[in-house]
Amino acid sequence: MKFKIIVVVAARPNFMKAAPIFVELKRFKNIEPVLIHTGQHYDAGLSKVFFHDLSLPRPDAHLGVGSGTHGEQTGKTMVTFEGILSKHKPHLVIVVGDVNSTLACALATVKVRCANKDYYPLLAHVEAGLRSFDWHMPEEYNRRLTDAVSDFLFTTEPSGARNLEREGIDRKRIFFVGNVMIDSLMRFKKRAEHSDILQRLKLEKKKYALLTMHRPSNVDDKRALRGLLHVLRRISRLLDVVYPIHPRTEKMLKQYGLSADFLRIVPPLGYLDFLQLMMNARCVLTDSGGIQEETTVLKIPCLTLRNNTERPVTVSEGTNTIVGKDPEKIFSAVENILEGKIRKGKCPKFWDGKAARRICRTIDAHLRNP
Ligand code: UD1
C-alpha cells in the first residue's frame, strides 16, 4: 500500500523548506507525495521563480487563495484545503514555517477528523517550537497554534524542544532534525555561484550591504518606517545598500509618500540570485526569519531589524545581532562591521543538509509501524 502525503507550500519562505522534503519523499517507494500550493503568494517574483530555481515540480493543485485580511486569507485557505483533503484523503499532511497558510492547513487537517470517524489524517509541522514571545507578530499565533495540534513536531534548534515542552507538548512527538532551509542552501550553493546578479547590478563583492524589510511592525507603521529609512540613508553613504523590495513595503512607501531612492531598489529576486547576493554581501540587514539562519551558515554578519528573534541559536552560535529599530544601534553595528569587528560564528547542530532525510525517515518509520 502507498501512503499519500500532502506537502503544503504557500508563500516565499516556504518553497526552500518544502523542496528538499518533497524530493526526499519521492525516494520512498511506499510514499506518494502530493504538492499543494495555497496561492498565498501569487506574484511570479514571489512564487513561480522559486519553483524554477529549486527544481520543484508544478503543484498538483493551486488553491488561488491570494491576499486579504488575516481572517479572509486564513479562512479561505481552510475552506479550499478541506476540499483537497476530501479529494486526496492523505495519510499525512506536512506544513512548514509560520505563515497564515501553515495554520490554516493545519487546522483544516485536524478538523476533518471530527467529522469523519474512519479517517484520521496525521499532521507534521516542520520548523516547530520557534518562539519570538512577541504577540504583535501574526507568525507567533501561527506557530503556537500549529504546534498545539501537530502529531509530529520537527525542530531546527534546541530552543524548539524547550519551548514545546514548556507548553505541555508530549516529548514523544518532538524530533530534533535540523534545518531544511539549510538543506536547500547546501544543495543550491554551487548553482547560485553561477548567477550573474552581481554583474547585472554592477556590484563588487563585499562592497555592498543587502537589505530585506517587510514586517508589518517595520513597514506598516509610518513612524517606524520613516526612522528606518533615515538610518538606512546614513548607511548608504558608507556603502551601497541593495534592496530587493517586497510588495508590501512598496505599497506602504507609496501610501505614506516616503522616498527610498538612496537605496539600490530592485524587484524581488529568485532564490539563486538572492543566495549569490547574500554570499558576497559585506553584511545583511533584515527583518526576515530565515535569512538570519542562512547568513549564519554562510558566515555573513546579519543585523536583525527586530526587537527579538524566534531563532536564538543564530545569535548564540551564529553571526546574527539583534539591533531592533534603534537608529544609533543599527548605525554603529554597521560601522563595527566595516571596521572588521565581526563574529565568525559556527554552524548549529544538524544544519548539515540532511534534515529532510531525518524527517522523511521518521515519518516513514511511523507510517509503516504506527
Ligand atoms: C507573508 C508571511 C510572512 C513572511 C512573508 C514573506 C503571514 C502572516 N505572513 O507576509 O511571515 O515573512 O510572507 O514574504 O503569513 N502581495 C503581492 N503579491 C503577492 C503576495 C502579496 O503583491 O504575491 C502584497 C499584497 O498587497 C498583500 C501584501 O503583499 O496584501 C502582504 O501579503 P501577505 O501574504 O498578506 O503577507 P506578507 O507580508 O507577504
Domain ranges of the chain: 3-178+351-368, 194-338
**How remote is the CA of residue 272 from the centroid of ligand 1, in Å?**
20
What pairs with residue 242 in β-bridges? 210, 264
Residue nearest to atom 14 of ligand 1 (CA): 12
The cell numbers describing 21, all together, are 522534503
List pLDDT tens digits, range 87-105: 999 999 999 999 999 999 9
pLDDT of residue 338: 97
Q: Which fold has domain 3-178+351-368?
A: Rossmann fold (3.40.50)
Give yes or no for residue 354 CB within 6 A of ligand 1.
no
The CATH homologous superfamily for domain 194-338 is Glycogen Phosphorylase B; (3.40.50.2000)
Q: Select from 248, 271, 292, 305 the residue to mutate for testing ligand 1; criterion: most ligand atoms less than 8 Å from CB.
A: 248
Neighbours of 15 (CB within 10 A): 24
d(CA 160, CA 175): 10
- C-alpha distances in Å from residue 350, one per residue of 183, 239, 276, 362: 10, 35, 23, 15
pLDDT per 10-residue tile (average), the chain, 370 residues: 96 98 97 98 96 97 97 98 97 98 98 92 98 96 98 98 98 98 98 98 97 96 96 98 97 97 98 98 98 98 98 98 95 97 94 98 95
Q: Within a 13 Å sphere around the CA of 34, how many CA atoms are in the beta-carbon half?
A: 20
Residue nearest to atom 22 of ligand 1 (CA): 247
Same fold yes or no, 3-178+351-368 and 194-338: yes
Give yes or no for residue 42 CB within 6 A of ligand 1.
yes
pLDDT of residue 1: 81
d(CA 236, CA 263): 7
Angle (CA) 114-59-90 rounded to 5° is 25
List pLDDT tens digits, range 142-178: 999 999 999 999 999 999 999 999 999 999 999 999 9
* Three-state SS sequence of 59-110: CCEECCCCCCCHHHHHHHHHHHHHHHHHHHCCCEEEEECCCHHHHHHHHHHH
Query: Does pTM top 0.75 for this prediction?
Result: yes
Residue nearest to atom 30 of ligand 1 (CA): 67
Give yes or no for residue 99 CB within 6 A of ligand 1.
yes
Q: Select from 12, 15, 40 the residue to mutate for testing ligand 1; criterion: most ligand atoms less than 8 Å from CB.
A: 40
Catalytically annotated residue among 37, 88, 214, 246: 214
pLDDT of residue 299: 97
d(CA 58, CA 50): 11
Give the type of residue at 40: Q
Residue nearest to atom 35 of ligand 1 (CA): 67
Torsion of CA 346, 348, 350, 353, to 10 degrees: -60
Give yes or no for residue 12 CB within 6 A of ligand 1.
yes
- What stretch of H or E contains 259? none
Residues 6+ apart with CB under 8 A from 302: 283, 284, 285, 286, 291, 292, 295, 296, 314, 318, 319, 320, 321
pLDDT of residue 116: 87
Question: Known catalytic residue: 136?
Answer: no
pLDDT of residue 76: 98
Give yes or no for residue 255 CB within 6 A of ligand 1.
no
**Exposure letters 281-319 (e unless 16+ CB within 10 A, then b):** bbbbbbbbbbbbbbbbbbbbbbbbbbebbbbbbbbebbb
Give yes or no for residue 45 CB within 6 A of ligand 1.
no
